[in-house]
Amino acid sequence: MGVVHGQEMVLNIGPQHPATHGVLRLQVKTDGEVISEITPYLGYLHRCFEKHCENVSYEQVIPFTDRCDYLASMTMNFGYVVAMEQLMDIKVNDRVEYIRVIMAELQRIASHLLAIGVFGLDLGAFTPFLHMLRDRERIIDLFEMTCGARLLYNYMWVGGLSHDLPKGFVEATLNFLDYFEPKVDEFENLLGHNKIFVERTADIGIMPAEVAINYGVTGPNLRASGVNWDLRKDNPYSVYSKLDFNVPVGKGIKGTVGDSWDRFYVRLQEIRESVKIVRQAIDQLPKDGDVHQSMPKKIRPPKGSIYSRTESPRGDLGYYIESDGSDTPYRLKMRSPAFTALGVLNEIAGGWLMSDVLAILGSLDIVLGEIDR
């Protein structure tokens, strides 16, 4: 007798992300409770980012990059200005570089806090989410103090910054870090070692390193699979080479290397590393230096193209910029890290149960604004 197959059923999840990271529809083929295939349908948030960029000047692209990944706008700005400065061969002064690093790392903390919090929320843990949102709020207050905006900053400009640090920023940041550091341990106990959370994430959705590399998965998701790859270390840009930090990798403490729990834990450890980086950057921050010093009067890069990568909270953020020597980009492509992270979903979620899909999806930390662009 052959194997008995139940009737295959097609279910739709969405079009809505369970924790509203954006809008996404997953078409899931199930055999009873077991997933046989997942087909994601994207594009609900497509805003023609690349087409718009061809019609605006280079500095007008920066606000668009904010809106791609609205949970990590600072690092989106950062990636773009790094690419533009390479293309135009601009060197900015150290004060600008250190301020950028401080902002990028604070943003990484904020983004990871939300990622972890929402991951817990996806699995029904409501309390940690509120704690993390409370602390993320304090980072956003710091950003508001710096540039007036709370979500979409437009703070880093080609060759400089929109504003210098305001009075009292350094003290406020140190104050926050002193308050925040013990809280990270609290988060770890609250969520990471929670029996229910461990049961639902450990050994679930295992992503082997080869699969991750082949599918172009980057960032914390790749590191959780045990690959030590971080552009801040391996291809340092800005002043990251002068700062000391570790690259946390997944070790399979609760289960197997590359499972959903590892992806959570790598993010938690990265928060600790980012705190360390911010402290060092504040310590080394030069007292003087004009943040508008290297800003070109007219942004008109020479003919040519550049592909530049930076480490956003979600992974390798690449910008491919082609200039034809005019004021507007001839072609601008953003290589989105969340786009490739979602691409692997079908591969790693197949064979798991319906309830695990949300755990795996939550652990990948996708932002649909960046996927759809």
Partner 1 sequence: MSEDLQKLIDEAVKKALAGDDEAINGIEDRVTRAKAKAALVKAKREQPNASEKSSTSESNEEQPAVENSENVTSKITKMLDYKFSDCLDGELHSDFIQLKPEYWFEIAKFLKEDPDAYFDSLQCNTGFDLGDGMLESRYNLHSMKHLHSIEIRIKVNIDNPDIPSVESIWRVADWFERETYDMFGINFTGHRDLRRILLPEDWDGWPLRKDYEEQETYHGIVVPKVKEGWE
Q: Which residues bind partner 1 (CB under 8 A)?
A: 42-43, 46, 48, 50-52, 54-56, 170-171, 174-175, 177-178, 209, 213-216, 226-229, 234-235, 244, 246-249, 251, 276, 279-280, 282-283, 307, 309, 316, 318, 320, 322, 331, 333, 335, 339-340, 343, 347, 372-373
CB of 53 to partner 1, least distance (A): 10
CB of 196 to partner 1, least distance (A): 29
| Residue in 298, 292, 241, 284 with CA at minimum distance from that of residue 98 | 284
Three-state DSSP class for 288? coil
**Which residue's CB is nearer to partner 1, number 295 or number 330?**
330
**Which residue's CB is nearer to partner 1, number 171 or number 290?**
171
**Which residue's CB is nearer to partner 1, number 233 or number 294?**
233
**Which residue's CB is nearer to partner 1, number 66 or number 122?**
66
CB of 55 to partner 1, least distance (A): 5
**Which residue's CB is nearer to partner 1, number 145 or number 174?**
174
Question: How is 222-269 classified by DSSP, letter by letter?
Answer: HHHTT----HHHHS--TTGGGS---------SSSSTTSHHHHHHHHHH
CB of 59 to partner 1, least distance (A): 14
Please, where are the H alpha helices in the chain? 49-53, 61-68, 73-88, 94-122, 126-147, 169-187, 195-201, 209-214, 220-224, 231-234, 260-284, 337-343, 345-349, 354-364, 368-372
Q: How many CA atoms lie within 13 A of 197 on its CB side?
A: 27
CB of 177 to partner 1, least distance (A): 8
The token duo for 238 is 């800005």
